[in-house]
Amino acid sequence: MNGDSPIISINGVSKQFPGGVQALEGVDLEINEGEFFALLGPSGCGKTTLLRILAGFEIPTTGDVFIDGANMAAVVPNRRPVNMVFQSYAVFPHMTVAENVAYGLKVSGTERRTIPDRVQRALDLVQLGDYGRRKPGQLSGGQAQRVALARALVKEPRVLLLDEPLSALDAKLRETMQMELVRLQDTVGITFVIVTHDQNEALSMADRVAVMDEGRVLQVADPGELYEFPRDRFVAEFIGKMNLFEGTNVGWADGTLALLVNGLGRIELPCAEPTTHDVGIAVRPEKMLLFEQRPDAAYLAFEAEVEKVAYYGSESRVFLATDRGLALEVSIRNHSRATAGEEIAGRRWVSWLPEDTLILPD
């Protein structure tokens, strides 16, 4: 599905706002044709600024943006081969749904008699075929969102930009719309670039995700790699849950790194590269297991006291503390009714496979 030619190239883009706020710092990014690409980060990380630079509403202080091979430096927003779905949807309140969708076609001089057909097709695409004559005031949030989508897609842009498109919807509707956006992108085959602060949204929808913080891109990877192999502490902690420990390096030999971890003691991990500095180590809660007896030597195992269990239905999160006071979080899947009622308490062996440990250089 994904061609490998980049449709968007962002080269060394920085943005400084008047007043001195540095929104972006040396961002390099390539987004491929046909890709569903997510810009993920906490609020204020610069992801929206980057999206607005792609749309042409902000001009980078330095650096270049190429869309479809053309430098966008001197191209005004209304001449770019991109369209945007705004966070507030920005559906024109004084026009009907059909007029909203037709607006982009009219204003860019599309042949008049082809417009009604194209508008109807766009509305059908977002399942609002019968809503053409409604006014935006009569629409629900989800419907207004679809109008915004149809209005952008009817222009057949090379790239569709979506600014936090689902943040205003309630949880159930958000999940439905996530899947619908993916389906829609499959259908139209247009490159989607979505900005979100919601990691679940990014992981479940996107082909590739760029994690941003403080104006920089920290890691660009597909969701699986991002989750299993985060490159630094920020990414590790921002995406999913993570047990993160500091390890003091006590020597590397023959592909094994020996570490002293406060509260755990000495552990040995496979590590291909010779390492001399201290590192952070991280383990996902769902990679950990709880045993009543010490498991076999294949596992790293540490005895700890169960302090609290949080029940989430599909899983339980068990919070433990080792004798030396290190806090651990283990997630246990509720895979059978047979074990669901078992009480988790007392002393357990928190265990995981060495290869599920992530080594995070500082």
Binding residues vs other proteins (CB under 8 A): 55, 57, 76-79, 82-84, 86-88, 90, 92-94, 103-104, 107-108, 137, 148, 151-152, 155
CB of 196 closer than 8 Å to CB of 40? yes
Instruction: Measure the CA dihedral 291/293/295/301, to 10°.
Output: 70
**Which amino acid is residue 122, in one-letter code?**
A
**What minimum distance in Å lies between the beta carbon of 77 and other proteins?**
5
CA–CA gap between residue 192 and residue 220 (Å, rounded): 16
CA–CA gap between residue 13 and residue 61 (Å, rounded): 7
CB closer to other proteins out of 108 and 187: 108
CA–CA gap between residue 137 and residue 40 (Å, rounded): 31
CA–CA gap between residue 44 and residue 145 (Å, rounded): 24
3-state class (DSSP) for residue 206: coil
Q: Alpha helices, DSSP H only, in 168-287?
A: 171-188, 199-205, 223-228, 233-238
**What minimum distance in Å lies between the beta carbon of 135 and other proteins?**
10
**What minimum distance in Å lies between the beta carbon of 261 and other proteins?**
49
**What minimum distance in Å lies between the beta carbon of 340 and other proteins?**
47
**What minimum distance in Å lies between the beta carbon of 99 and other proteins?**
10
CB closer to other proteins out of 103 and 252: 103
**What minimum distance in Å lies between the beta carbon of 10 and other proteins?**
19
Name beta bridge partners: 67. Answer: 8, 70
Q: 341: burial class by Cβ within 10 Å (0-12, 13-18, 19+)?
A: exposed
Helix (H) or strand (E) holding 115: helix 115-125
CB closer to other proteins out of 110 and 204: 110
CB closer to other proteins out of 118 and 317: 118
CB closer to other proteins out of 57 and 229: 57
**What minimum distance in Å lies between the beta carbon of 290 and other proteins?**
49
CB closer to other proteins out of 79 and 133: 79
E strand map for the chain: 6-16, 22-32, 36-40, 62-67, 70-71, 82-85, 159-163, 191-196, 208-213, 216-221, 243-253, 256-261, 265-270, 279-283, 289-291, 300-311, 315-322, 327-333, 347-352, 358-361
CB closer to other proteins out of 82 and 306: 82
CB closer to other proteins out of 84 and 257: 84
- Smallest Cα–Cα separation from 23: which of 13, 31, 15? 15
**What minimum distance in Å lies between the beta carbon of 29 and other proteins?**
21
